[in-house]
Chain A
Amino acid sequence: DAGVTQSPTHLIKTRGQQVTLRCSPKSGHDTVSWYQQALGQGPQFIFQYYEEEERQRGNFPDRFSGHQFPNYSSELNVNALLLGDSALYLCASSFGTSATDTQYFGPGTRLTVL
């Protein structure tokens, strides 16, 4: 049973560029959430996708956008990259429509912005 997978593992970009990160949820899961984790901090919620729609969004600017596909996989897009966007980006998947559904995390994508 495959867990949550993310690609790529590492990514280096320069300021102003755009980036796309990908996530495949755990088998049987239909909900994908994205988190940003800065060094030495806990993960911060970016947004959650369910039934191909953004269900909830955290305090992140519109430069951060996402998409969920019919097979439940998801993409996170970040435009006009800033140095402060350097972080570990985590994808979490869950099943169900309840806010208490347990979220399982992938290994993350380490983004470095130069």
Chain B
Amino acid sequence: GQQLNQSPQSMFIQEGEDVSMNCTSSSIFNTWLWYKQDPGEGPVLLIALYKAGELTSNGRLTAQFGITRKDSFLNISASIPSDVGIYFCAASGGSNYKLTFGKGTLLTVNP
């Protein structure tokens, strides 16, 4: 079945550093999304991408929808302590209404 390979699994960085994480798949998707989840909470939408090649920013966050429609990346610039959490990529496509999720990237930011 469809699955998303998200990497890295975890990251430990210093405050102020930039972060990059990505998701790949063997399947084509029409929508890529990036969510952040804090412990015990639901995922919060960060960025939604609807077009192959699209590059979208939301403050210090930038994400791109891969041109092959099989991948996406998320960059966080100048990280701050409140960036700590689990970041998930998710994708949907065609007549498939469900979101398929990656396994998440755990981000730790040392002040």
Residue positions of A touching B, CB distance < 8 A? 4, 6, 33, 35, 41-45, 48, 55-56, 58-59, 88, 90, 92, 99-100, 102-108, 110
Contacts and interface: CB of A to CB of B under 8 A. Distances in A.
Contacts, number: 69
Interface in B1-49: 1, 4, 6, 30-31, 33, 35, 40-45, 48
23 contacts: A6-B42, A41-B103, A42-B6, A42-B104, A43-B43, A43-B99, A43-B101, A45-B98, A55-B97, A56-B98, A90-B42, A90-B43, A99-B31, A99-B95, A99-B97, A100-B92, A102-B33, A105-B44, A107-B40, A107-B41, A107-B42, A108-B40, A110-B40
Contacts of A99: 30-31, 92-97
A44 B2 CA distance: 12
B33 A33 contact: no
Contact of B45 (A6, A100, A104): A104
Given A4-B42, A100-B92, A45 B100 contact: yes
B107 to A, nearest CB: 15
B63 to A, nearest CB: 14
B103 A102 contact: no
Interface string B75-111: 0000000000000101011111111111110000000
A45 B99 contact: yes
Given A33-B98, A42-B103, A105 B35 contact: yes
Contacts of B1: 59
Contacts of B33: 102-103
Contacts of B100: 45
